[in-house]
A = this chain, B = another copy of it.
Amino acid sequence: MTPDQEKAENWWQTEIIEMEPGSIRFRGYAIQDLIGTIGFVEMIWLMLRGDLPTPAQAELLGAALVAGVDHGPQAPSIAIARMAMTCGIGINSAMASAVNVLGDVHGGAGEQALAFYESILARAEGDIPAAAKAAVAEALAAGTQIGGFGHRFHPIDPRAPKLLALVDAAAAAGTVSGRLATVARAVEAALEDAKGRKIPMNIDGATAVIFGELGFPAPLCRGLFILSRSVGVLAHAFEQSQQGGRNKGPLPKGWRWTYTGNPQRTPE
């Protein structure tokens, strides 16, 4: 190989995949040794982490992925997938328009929650409740949104307690340490103290515990949530394609928006 081809090939570097004609290796493993040997969740782990998980780790990761697939057509991601599908584009593009909106507000709460938990752990010095109390007080004083707690629709998010119970079981079995679960519950308690009412952990707060306990860095919380939500996005896009419709708007046909602008006028 000439130095210049080498220079170009060095411009694109990766530890993830190695390829020769007839050979594909992921993180060192030949693809034919992985297919039929490991499950999809193990493959997700391998791609993101570089090594294979234990069965117990994969099971816990899988539970978090099951939890986030969908929150119905009032979630912008799902509404967009369905509307997009009636506009004459492929299912890949309908999914792209939808996944694209899983931003700081719609998809970022888990990432924020894990970063918050980790900051509490870093300052805790053995006393997690005190550290959580201080961190919550600071966040409330600064007006910072604490991601992962409270839900505008569910008084109690039915996904969170179940996920936390799985973390407890995994901690009891030695799969994870359980320290982030302790932190998250301390945050919940500190929030209740500060606000005078319970603001229960939601799915983002709970999956952040799982992803963090399993060793994923905070930015991958969002990535993992996207893999999960992509399933619902696909299911709704496909269902909409079966229902038909052309250029589906948000409101029933014949309804319109409210105009609040300038009265009628003409250009001079």
Binding site for B on A (CB under 8 A): 2-5, 7-19, 21-41, 43-44, 47-48, 50, 52, 59, 62-63, 65-67, 69-77, 79-80, 82-84, 86-108, 152-159, 161-163, 165-166, 219-220, 222-223, 226-228, 230-232, 234-239, 241, 243, 246-253, 255-267
Contacts and interface: CB of A to CB of B under 8 A. Distances in A.
Given A72-B257, A80-B97, A89-B93, 13 more contacts: A9-B256, A11-B252, A14-B257, A16-B70, A16-B236, A17-B72, A19-B71, A19-B153, A33-B266, A43-B66, A73-B250, A105-B246, A223-B234
Contact of A153 (B21, B27, B88, B90): B21
A34 B66 contact: yes
B73 A252 contact: no
Contact of A84 (B3, B11, B48, B76): B76
A8 B71 CA distance: 18
Query: How many identical subunits does the complex contain?
Result: 4
Contacts of A226: 91-92, 95, 230, 234
Contacts of A4: 2-5, 8
A90 B222 contact: yes
A130 to B, nearest CB: 31
A43 B73 contact: no
A101 to B, nearest CB: 4
A188 to B, nearest CB: 17
A242 to B, nearest CB: 9
Contacts of A250: 12, 73-74, 79, 83, 250-251
A206 to B, nearest CB: 10
Given A74-B249, A154-B22, A264-B25, A84 B105 contact: no
A158 B40 contact: no
Given A12-B250, A159-B24, A38 B255 contact: no
Contacts of A17: 70-72, 232, 259, 261
